[in-house]
Each structure stands twice: as C-alpha cells, then as structure tokens.
Copies of this chain bind each other. A is one copy, B any other.
Amino acid sequence: MSTVTEREALVGACLFGQSGGPTAVINASAAGVFTEALRSTGRITHVYGAAYGIDGVFQERFYDMAQESPEELHNLCYTPSSALGSVRRKIKSEKDLQRILEVFQKYNIRFFFYNGGNDSMDTCNKVSKYLLKHHYACNVIGIPKTVDNDLVGTDHCPGYGSAAKFVATNIMSMYLDATVYQKGQVTIVEVMGRDAGWLTASAALAARAGCGPDLLYLPEGSFSREKFIEQVKQVLKENRSGTGSCFIAASEGIRTADGKLVASQPALAHDTFGHARLGGLCRVLESYVNDALPSVKTRSVELNILQRCAAYLASEVDVKNAFEAGRHAVRSALEGHTDRMVSFQRSSASGGGLGARFTCTLVPIDASANSVKHVPDSWILPDNRGMSEAFFTYAMPLVQGESKAPFSDGLPRFARLRKILARAPGSAPHVRSSL
C-alpha cells in the first residue's frame, strides 16, 4: 500500500462520475469538482468526466472536461439531471473490479470522485478497497447526493434541500388550489422516499407556513387503512381549512405493519438493485377514501420526477453545498486523503437557526454502507399530525435562498457541454461523442 506521503504527492489524471437518480443540484457538485480540478494543473494532468458513471469506465468513454468553457461549467450549477449521464449498475464480480483497475492504469487515473447515493457509495467503496488491496495509488472520494437524504454519516445530502423546497412550495400552492371551493375535498400528494421520510416530512414546512398538510405518512411509521380513514374523518370533522377539506402527504414507501408496500400492485416490477418500482400510492389511498367516504371529492397528485429536477426552484443553500462538496472532494484528494466520503457538519456556532452554516469534512467511505438514516421518531408528531419543531430547525436552513437559474427567452438556459471524448493514451485524435 502507498504511504500517506506518496498519496500527498500523487500526480495523474482525475476521473469524476455521476451515479443513481438525478437531483436538481447534482451537476453543481460536478461544477465544483471540475472547477477545482482544472485549476490544479500542477498535480492533475487530465480532468475526465465518465459518461454514464461507472459504465463509462468499462467502456472507456471519458469526456475531456478541459475542453468545456468555464461559463458552461459554471452553468452546470443551474442545470438539473446528470449532465454526464448516470447509471444504476452493481459491481458484481472481481472481474468488474479488475477491469476498472486496468482502465485506471491505462489512463493513469490517480484521483477518483464518485457522486451518488447509497448504492453508488457502495460502488465507490468497492472500487476504493480493491485499489487499496492491489496497491494502486489512487485517492478515492465519494460525494453524497440524494433527494432521499437517507445517507448515514452526514448532516444532510446535497439534493435534499432543493427537493424539500420544491415539495413545500408546491404543496403550499396546491393547498390554496384545493381549498378554493366551498365544498371540501380530500387531496393526497405522493412524495418520493422508499425507506426514509425526509422528503415527505418537508411537506410539514408548508403546514408551518399555514398552507400545508393536515396528515403526513412516512415510511418510519406503519400504515393502517382503518387508522388512516379514522384520521381523515377526524380532520374533516375539525374543519380546519373552513371548507371541510383534508390535505395529505404520503411517502411512496409507506408499508403496513406486516411490511407490505401500500403502493404494491399485482405485477410489481423491480429495478436493478432489487428495489420495488413504486408509483400509484396516491391512487391506492384515494381509493380507500372513495370507498369509505363516497360523497367526498378526492384528488391525488404524484409529484413524480419533478421533485428531483426542478433546478429553477433549487435552494440556494443546496446549490452552494453541492458545489462545495465537489470542491472539497478534490482538495481532500490532493491532500492525500482516500477511501473517504464528503460529509456535511452543521456549524454549532450559528445556533441552528435559518442561517445555520455547513462545513465539509470527511468520513469513512463505507459510513453509509448497508444502512439508512431514518427520520427520528421523536421528530414525528403523534397521529400523523406532522413534524415537531426539531424537524423545522433541521430542515429550514436547507431550503433557504432561491436559485439564480438563468432563463433565456422565457425558458431555462441549461449548460451546453461540448462532450468531447478524451483520447485513449496512444490513440488517434479525439472525436465528438455521438451520444
């Protein structure tokens, strides 16, 4: 194994990849990585962006990021989705890892940054451990991102703040829309979150602002159809909106006491990682209400992928944090750190108010392995009535500030990357990517 001194002095190419589901600010981390790496020419010989995450390594498809304009790289901060392409691929075998090492050697990749959630950190961890085991000196840093906010080892994950701002803002807007008639209605909004309720909890920020859900259902609790109907009836009886309405936010991942997904359908498909493919939870809940209260008007809304790609409504704090996470990864790698994940710490000095400050630090790359960070039970009010002040103290600083996303002719102006494929060492001149 290389020594720390060797690691501190490493010189070579750097490779950055994006993995898993996109977020509104995942490209801001890319911008942070590229900006910092491109100014570190003394140590970093080439700045590569992997096409489609780890698939780009297998296929040796690397974009030469030095050929992009600084303006467009900066504009990545306001461009949703994964600009380099993403992947959901599990590292399944020693053969996969051998191939990765082979490509790293061929391109002299000495700095590797991988941006993703739980599954992607697992990939990053496997690569890191394999390189260590085979004494290939390469500093590996994982960069967290996920709208689910369920990574262990960090105060929060970039992507969550913007998704939370989207959820809260749109629920406030829909709440006004849903209480417009004199005759009440039951509105059910389905929010992303397979295992953890962070994003659904953000709907409570709308309630705090006076335009939000009466009832919240998180995966942290177990769901009972009977209890649900009783709670809806109770809210309708209380008539808090003045129109006999009930507004509900529920996570796609809620389960019954015996562990069954409420959203489960006859033909339940699964994604590559064996997760159930969810959808339609709000329709299931709507059918429960229709069945029990046939005279009550109902409406169900699935926020769907909008909640993870609305860069135009991103939280400014989230954009900055995402950018900073990318920059911190590069700086840490240059300092000789490896086998680590960037983590956010909340500044205790600032007291946790709206203006709480966040600093980047490092944790072991496997800090988040095989575990999910759940919303603390004590932050959830009894009877599905929302979230406690502790949650607001946690979440409010993450949704502060509005994105400065540029518009052109009335529509978003996304980053335009040239995506020039890098030459393999010793090969013919570079060509424009056909993808």
A interface with B by C-beta (< 8 Å): 22, 52, 55, 79-82, 85-88, 165, 168-170, 172-174, 176-182, 205-206, 209, 211, 242-243, 299, 301-306, 308-313, 315, 354, 396, 399-402, 407, 409-412, 414, 434-435
Query: Of B52, B178, B243, which contacts A182 at CB under 8 A?
Result: B52
For A409, give the chain B residue with the smallest CB separation.
B354
Shortest beta-carbon distance from A84 to chain B in Å? 9
- Pair B313/A411 contact, Cβ less than 8 Å: no
CB neighbours of A399 from chain B (8 A): 410-411
Cβ 8 A contact of A396, one of B86, B173, B174, B409: B409
Q: Which of A172, A181, A211, A400 has the most C-beta atoms of chain B within 10 angstroms of its own C-beta?
A: A181
A-B contact pairs, 24 of them (CB 8 A): A52-B181, A55-B182, A79-B176, A80-B177, A81-B177, A81-B179, A86-B181, A87-B181, A168-B411, A169-B312, A170-B306, A172-B414, A173-B312, A176-B309, A177-B308, A209-B411, A209-B412, A242-B434, A302-B304, A313-B313, A396-B410, A399-B410, A400-B410, A401-B410
The reply to whether A22 and B312 contact each other, CB–CB distance below 8 Å, is no
Compute how far the CA of A242 lies from the CA of B182 in the bound complex, rounded to whole angstroms: 50
CB < 8 Å: which of B173, B309, B435 contacts A173?
Answer: B309
A414 with B312: CB separation less than 8 A: no
Residues of B within 8 A of A313 (CB): 312-313
Contact A305 B309 (CB under 8 A): no
Closest residue of B by beta carbon distance from A411: B209
Copies in the complex: 2
What is the distance, in angstroms, from A123's C-beta to the closest C-beta of chain B?
Answer: 15
A87 contact set on B, CB distance < 8 A: 181-182
- Name the B residues within 8 Å of A243 (CB-CB): 435
Which of chain B's residues have a CB closer than 8 A to the CB of A176? 22, 79-81, 309, 414
Closest residue of chain B to A280, judged by CB? B283
Contact B308 A172 (CB under 8 A): no
Question: Beyond A82-B180, A402-B407, is A311–B173 a contact (Cβ under 8 Å)?
Answer: yes
Residues of B within 8 A of A79 (CB): 176
Q: How many Å from the CB of A212 to the closest CB on chain B?
A: 10
Q: Is the CB of B410 within 8 A of A165?
A: yes
- Asked if A81 contacts B173 (CB within 8 A), the reply is yes
Contact assessment for B411 and A205 in the assembled complex, using a CB-CB cutoff below 8 Å? yes
Q: Separation in Å of the A188 CB from the closest CB of chain B?
A: 11
Residues of B within 8 A of A402 (CB): 407, 410
Q: Could you tell me the distance between the alpha carbons of A206 and B52 in the complex, rounded to whole angstroms?
A: 24
Min CB distance A68 to B, Å, is 17
User: Which of B182, B205, B411 is the one whose CB lies under 8 Å from A206?
Assistant: B411
**A305 contacts B315, C-beta separation under 8 Å:** no
Q: Which of B180, B304, B315, B401 contacts A86 (CB 8 A)?
A: B180
Decide: A299 near B309, CB < 8 A? Known: A85-B182, A399-B410: no
Given contacts A173-B306, A401-B410, A402-B407, 16 further A-B contacts (CB under 8 A): A22-B180, A81-B173, A85-B181, A85-B182, A87-B181, A88-B181, A165-B411, A169-B312, A169-B411, A173-B412, A176-B414, A209-B411, A211-B414, A301-B304, A301-B305, A303-B306
Q: In the complex the two chains form, what is the Cα distance from A176 to B78 in whole Å?
A: 13
